[in-house]
C-alpha cells in the first residue's frame, strides 16, 4: 500500500513576526485561506488516505497539529529532538514498515505551495510507481521557473523506462551563473518530494549512512528516544540520496515553492494590478510590488516600491524585498524581548 509522511516541524523564524515557535509557517495561511499544513493534507485526498498518512512534528507543535488537522494521534510521530530530515524520514519509514511490510512511502513537507494539484497527484503516483517498479529512491525534480540559488539541483541521467530517469548528480545551492547553466542542461530542483519502498530506504541507509544505520536497532526495539539521542543530525539528501546508487528522478511539471521567505508570497499569492500582495486590513496607495500582511492592525502603505510590510503579533516589520533573505541575520541582532514571540 502507499503511505505518506508529512514533515511538519520547523521553528518558524522565516515569517517573523507572523510566525513564531508556537505557530510556524505550516500553521499559517501563507499561500491561501487555509494553512499550508491543511493544504498539504488536502493535496493527498484521493491519493493516500489519512489512515496511511503519518505526520512528523515536535512535542511543542503536536497538540496544535492534531487539533488543527484532526489527526489520529496514532499517526503523529513526535520527534524527541530535531535532527533534520534524515532521522525523521528514516524513523517514519521504519514505523510504516512495521505496519505494512509492502509499503511504498511518499515523503513531503507541510509548508509548500503547489500550483497544480492534478499535476502534483499524477506526479506523486508516478513517483510511487517508479519507486516500486525500479526499486529505487525516487526524488521528484521540479522543472525550474527561475535561476534560484537557494535550492539544490538534480542533473538527470539516462532514462529508466518511460517514467523515470537515473540521477547523474546532485548539486547544492549554485551561484546564479551556475544555476542558469544547470537549467540550460535540463537540471531540476530537488524539491524534497520523495518516494521509496520502505525496505529499499532502510537497505540504502544500512549501506551508506553510518550516522544513522547503527542506531536502527533502537527503532526495532521501539526506543525512539534512544534512536534520536544516538543519531547525527543529517538531511535525507546528504545522508542517503546523494550517497546511494539506487536513486531515480521523476520530473514534476507543476509550480512548487517551499515558501522560504516573505519574498515567496509574491510568487504564491495573487497580486493586484500594481503587483502588490495584500493580506489583511492593509490599504495600499500608489505602491508597486509590495508584500503586505496584517493580522489585525490597520496598515496604510503609500508611495512604496518593493517593500515588505508586516504587522503581526504586536510587532511591525518593514523590509526591502532585496533584504528579505537576510531576515534571519536581522532577527539574530534584535533584542530578545522584541524577537521572541510567545
Residue 89's Cβ-side half-sphere holds a number of Cα atoms within 13 Å equal to 33
Query: Which CB sits closer to a copy of itself, 34 or 328?
Result: 328
Query: Which CB sits closer to a copy of itself, 243 or 321?
Result: 321
Query: Which CB sits closer to a copy of itself, 94 or 327?
Result: 327
Instruction: Decide: is 342 part of the binding site for a copy of itself (CB under 8 A).
Output: no
- Please state the three-class secondary structure of the chain as a single string: CEEEEEECCCCCCCCCCCCECCECHHHCCCCCCCCHHHHHHHHHCCCCCHHHEEEEEECCCHHHHHHHHCCCHHHEEEECCCCCHHHHHHHHHHHHHHHCCCCEEEEEECCCEECCHHHHHHHHHHHHHHHHHHCCEEEEEECCCCCCCCCCEEEEEEEECCCEEEEEEEECCCCHHHHHHHHHCCCEEEEEEEEEEHHHHHHHHHHHCCCCHHHHHHHHCCCHHHHHHHCCCCCHHHHHHCCCCCEEEEEECCCEECCCCHHHHHHHCCCCCCCCEEECCEEEECCECCEEEECCCCEEEECCECEEEEEECCEEEEEEHHHHHHHHHHHHCCCHHHHCCC
Q: Given candidates 220, 225, 229, 338, which one binds a copy of itself under the rule CB under 8 A?
A: 338
Instruction: Decide: is 328 part of the binding site for a copy of itself (CB under 8 A).
Output: no
Q: Given candidates 35, 297, 336, 342, which one binds a copy of itself under the rule CB under 8 A?
A: 297
Q: How far apart are CA 204 and CA 105, in angstroms?
A: 15
Q: How far is the CB of 317 from a copy of itself (least distance, A)?
A: 5
Query: Which CB sits closer to a copy of itself, 83 or 308?
Result: 308
Instruction: Decide: is 300 part of the binding site for a copy of itself (CB under 8 A).
Output: yes
Q: Given candidates 298, 328, 336, 342, which one binds a copy of itself under the rule CB under 8 A?
A: 298
Instruction: Decide: is 130 part of the binding site for a copy of itself (CB under 8 A).
Output: no
Q: How far is the CB of 284 from a copy of itself (least distance, A)?
A: 10
Q: How far is the CB of 108 from a copy of itself (least distance, A)?
A: 32
256-295 positions binding a copy of itself, by CB under 8 A: 281, 283, 285-286, 294
Query: Which CB sits closer to a copy of itself, 225 or 334?
Result: 334
Q: How far is the CB of 258 from a copy of itself (least distance, A)?
A: 22
Which single residue is written with the C-alpha cell 515567496?
264
6 and 106 Cβ atoms separated by less than 8 Å: no
Query: Which CB sits closer to a copy of itself, 219 or 309?
Result: 309
Question: Site mask, a copy of itself, residues 2-41, x = CB under 8 A?
Answer: ---------------x------------------------
Instruction: Decide: is 97 part of the binding site for a copy of itself (CB under 8 A).
Output: no
Query: Which CB sits closer to a copy of itself, 42 or 286?
Result: 286
Q: Which residues bind a copy of itself (CB under 8 A)?
A: 17, 281, 283, 285-286, 294, 297-305, 307, 309, 311, 314-320, 322-323, 326-327, 330, 333-335, 337-338
Amino acid at each position: 500500500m502507499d503511505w505518506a509522511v508529512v514533515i511538519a516541524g520547523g521553528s518558524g523564524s522565516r515569517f517573523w513576526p507572523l510566525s513564531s515557535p508556537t505557530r510556524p509557517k505550516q500553521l499559517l495561511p501563507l499561500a491561501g485561506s487555509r494553512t499550508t499544513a491543511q493544504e498539504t493534507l488536502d493535496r493527498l485526498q484521493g491519493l493516500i488516505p489519512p489512515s496511511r498518512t503519518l505526520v512528523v512534528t515536535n512535542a511543542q507543535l503536536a497538540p496544535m497539529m492534531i487539533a488543527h488537522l484532526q489527526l489520529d494521534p496514532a499517526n503523529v510521530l513526535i520527534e524527541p529532538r530535531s535532527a533534520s530530515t534524515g532521522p525523521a524520514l528514516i524513523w517514519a519509514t521504519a514505523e510504516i514498515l512495521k505496519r505494512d511490510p509492502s509499503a511504498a512511502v511518499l515523503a513531503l513537507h507541510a509548508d509548500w505551495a503547489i500550483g497544480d494539484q492534478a499535476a502534483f497527484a499524477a506526479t506523486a503516483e508516478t513517483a510511487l510507481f517508479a519507486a516500486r517498479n525500479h526499486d529505487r529512491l525516487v526524488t521528484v525534480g521540479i522543472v525550474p521557473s527561475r535561476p534560484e540559488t537557494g535550492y539544490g539541483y538534480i542533473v538527470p541521467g539516462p532514462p529508466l523506462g518511460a517514467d523515470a530517469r537515473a540521477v547523474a548528480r546532485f548539486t547544492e545551492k549554485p551561484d546564479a551563473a551556475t544555476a542558469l547553466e544547470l537549467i540550460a542542461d535540463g537540471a531540476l530542483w530537488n524539491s524534497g518530494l520523495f518516494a521509496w519502498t520502505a525496505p529499499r530506504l532502510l537497505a540504502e541507509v544500512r549501506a551508506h549512512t553510518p550516522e544513522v544505520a547503527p542506531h536502527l536497532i533502537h527503532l526495532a526495539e521501539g526506543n525512539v528516544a534512544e534512536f534520536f539521542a544516538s543519531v547525527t543530525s543529517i538531511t535525507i539528501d546528504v545522508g542517503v540520496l546523494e550517497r546511494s546508487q539506487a536513486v531515480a528522478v521523476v520530473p514534476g511539471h507543476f509550480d512548487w515553492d517551499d515558501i522560504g521567505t516573505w519574498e515567496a508570497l509574491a510568487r504564491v499569492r495573487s497580486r493586484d494590478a500594481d503587483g502588490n500582495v495584500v493580506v489583511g486590513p492593509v490599504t495600499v496607495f500608489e505602491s508597486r510590488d509590495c508584500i503586505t500582511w496584517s493580522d489585525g492592525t490597520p496598515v496604510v502603505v503609500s508611495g512604496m516600491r518593493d517593500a515588505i510590510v508586516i504587522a503581526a503579533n504586536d510587532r511591525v516589520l518593514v523590509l526591502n524585498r532585496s533584504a528579505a533573505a537576510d531576515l534571519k541575520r536581522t532577527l539574530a541582532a534584535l533584542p530578545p524581548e522584541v524577537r521572541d514571540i510567545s
